[in-house]
Amino acid sequence: MRTRPAFGRCDCAGSDRGWEVAGGYTSEASHVRRSPTPDGNSLLGGVAQLCHAFFHCSPTPELSSHPDELCLRVACDPAGRKCETKGVVVVAALRDRAGDLRFLSRYSNCPLSSHAEEYVVRDEELVRAVMEMAPEDDARSSTKTPGSAGTLTLYQRLQPCHGSSDNRGPLWSCSDALVAGLHRELLGPRGVSLRVAVSYTYRAHWDVRGFESERERRWWGPKVEAAREGIRVFAAAAKDGVTLEALNAEDWAFLVSLCDEDVARDYAAAFGEGGEGFGSKGCGVFTAPAVAHRRAMDEFVAEQIRRHSASGPTNGRATNAAG
């Protein structure tokens, strides 16, 4: 497994990312919140935290039906502030082959110079839970079918970075850390598959042809291509039990079930089956337009991942031609 990153000082005071700290946590481990929670409150908090962690849609000109920003925080914040959209939250859920939850934790990156996935990879409690669920002796005895022992699902707002993050530099890849590190060395040999489910794509969907200047296109083009290459890191490991997907309805229902009760109730009213109750009857943040926007984004993200999983590696025009 990769060398553990060095973590610097916490810099999240007063921000969305400082939520756990405000809950009374004081150490570096403040940014790992476990279930059951020590304060007895929900794992994911209220609407503002749900938006910060998953629901928020950045302006996306490439999604022609819903190009504008979508933020639930504005409607529920007393000062009308929107999400700062800094930082990534990862919820890790380890389930056994019967689908029963064996481990559940929430990680967020603070300081921003580290990535939330790094907290996942180095979390000894997660490693222990995997080992308990799928013991090593068992793993040695035979070649494991992917998923035969269970699945680790990582729910996150953005797909893992790959040589393109602004704060970890061009050599760092959370995609490699998860696929070549966590999965190949710990999960795969134990028959545990890895599923990463995201609510938005980090740069991979950008169409640089729409950028204003040739200078911008030249600057951003390679970064967009690196993000797409990261998607292909997951696609190449599909046969070993690794998947990268957009969040689906079941994923959303699960994440919302980890929020405060009023959020879960409002969400069920807005997103419930059958269409009746379309639009929230509760605090009003899950409006019909918000529901439609989020659904369109989930489809867009799924399509982006499909398209860039299939496109050829680093062969200039191949990426644009695909899809």
Binding residues for Zn ion (CB under 5 A):
10, 12, 51, 56, 71, 73, 83, 110, 115, 161, 174
Residue 133 Cβ vs Zn ion, minimum distance, rounded to whole Å: 26
Shortest separation between residue 285's beta carbon and Zn ion, angstroms: 10
Strands (E), the chain: 32-34, 89-96, 101-108, 150-158, 192-200, 242-246
Please tell me whether the peptide bond between 135 and the residue prior to it is cis, using omega within 30 degrees of 0. Answer: no
Phi-psi region of 248 (alpha: psi -120 to 50; beta: other; left: phi over 0): beta
Quick one: 77 or 96, whose CB is closer to Zn ion? Answer: 77
Is 163 strand, coil or helix? coil
Q: What minimum distance in Å lies between the beta carbon of 112 and Zn ion?
A: 9
> How far is Cα 122 from Cα 268, in angstroms, rounded to an integer?
35
Picking from 50, 121, 36, 40, the residue whose alpha carbon sits closest to that of residue 89 is 50
Closest approach, Cβ 311 to Zn ion, in A, equals 21
Phi (first) and psi of residue 211, to 5 degrees: -75, 155
Residue 32 CB, nearest distance to Zn ion (Å)? 11
Helix, strand, coil % in the chain, rounded to nearest 5: 45, 15, 40
CB atoms within 10 A of CB 30: 19
Which of 80/274 has CB closer to Zn ion? 80
In whole angstroms, the minimum distance from the beta carbon of 306 to Zn ion comes to 22
Helices vs strands, H then E, count in the chain? 12, 6
Between 47 and 268, whose beta carbon lies closer to Zn ion? Answer: 47
CA 304 to chain CA centroid, nearest Å: 15
Closer CB to Zn ion, residue 10 or residue 310?
10
- Which is nearer to Zn ion, 83 or 263 (by Cβ)? 83
Count other Cβ atoms within 10 Å, centred on residue 321: 10
Nearer to Zn ion, 161 or 268 (CB): 161
Helix, strand, or coil here: 92? strand
C-beta closer to Zn ion: residue 161 or 258:
161
Q: How far is the CB of 30 from Zn ion (least distance, A)?
A: 6
> Shortest distance, CB of residue 141 to Zn ion, whole angstroms?
35
Q: Which residues contact 259 (CB under 8 A, 6 or more apart)?
A: 42, 43, 44, 45, 46, 47, 49, 50, 267
First to last CA, the chain: 35
Q: Please state, in angstroms and rounded to a whole number, the distance separating the CA atoms of residues 35 and 125.
A: 12
Nearer to Zn ion, 18 or 146 (CB): 18
